[in-house]
Amino acid sequence: MAMNSYAGEAVRRRDEILEIIGTTSVHSQEELQSLLKKRGVRVTQPTLSRDLRDLGVAKSPSGYVVPGAMSATSNVTSFTPRETREERVHRLVRDNVLSAVAAMNLVVIKTPTAAAQPVASAIDAADLQDVLGTVGGDDTIFLALTTPQAAASLAKQFDQLIHPARRRTRA
């Protein structure tokens, strides 16, 4: 499935954000915007803010941190209500998931290149019922669920988010 150029730009921009934050101490959006510009990536402040939120980036006393690095960073505490975390998962699934297929007690999720990590991170943060854990690669996520029935149910739920017309035609 071909990705449109807007989606490709967003994926590239988010890759650059993660690369910069992972290798450089960045303390403000203005500083990050400037570093992105030096790499040839132009982004507005509202878009950058949305990217940081969707990527799960947190701000710590030492600067921005990516989700995987948060456990090693002290003084990073964040409470997000369950409904907000679940809505974030739904939005990321709608916007970034190409397919979700149950296979025994696993759900195999396909995304565009570089979109798997933000989606997997959001699923982890949402603490969804029956999800035991996630493994996110570049364009594929494996979700381990408690039972094959739970996997089938979650795959169906994600499929309905991806293809809302299917849900309406069954009514």
Same domain, residue pair 65 and 129: no
* pLDDT value, residue 158: 93
- Residue 13: inside a domain: yes
Q: What is the CATH number of the domain that holds 113?
A: 3.30.1360.40
* pLDDT value, residue 171: 47
Q: For the chain, how many structural domains are there in total?
A: 2
Same domain, residue pair 88 and 156: yes
Same domain, residue pair 93 and 117: yes
Same domain, residue pair 111 and 48: no
Same domain, residue pair 12 and 41: yes
pLDDT in tens, 52-79: 888 888 877 778 887 655 444 444 434 5
pLDDT in tens, 12-48: 899 899 889 888 888 889 999 999 999 999 999 999 9
pLDDT in tens, 96-113: 899 999 999 999 999 998
* pLDDT value, residue 108: 97
Residue 26 main-chain phi, psi, to 5 deg: -120, 125
Contact 161, 93 (CB under 8 A): yes
- Residue 16: inside a domain: yes
Same domain, residue pair 64 and 143: no
Q: What is the CATH number of the domain that holds 31?
A: 1.10.10.10
- Nearest in space to 154 (alpha carbons), one of 105, 117, 94: 105
- Nearest in space to 158 (alpha carbons), one of 114, 113, 80, 106: 106
Q: Which domain holds residue 103?
A: 82-169
* pLDDT value, residue 140: 95
The pair of three-digit structure tokens given for residue 143, joined into one six-digit string = 């979700």
Same domain, residue pair 102 and 58: no
Same domain, residue pair 55 and 91: no
- Residue 77: inside a domain: no
Global confidence as pTM = 0.52
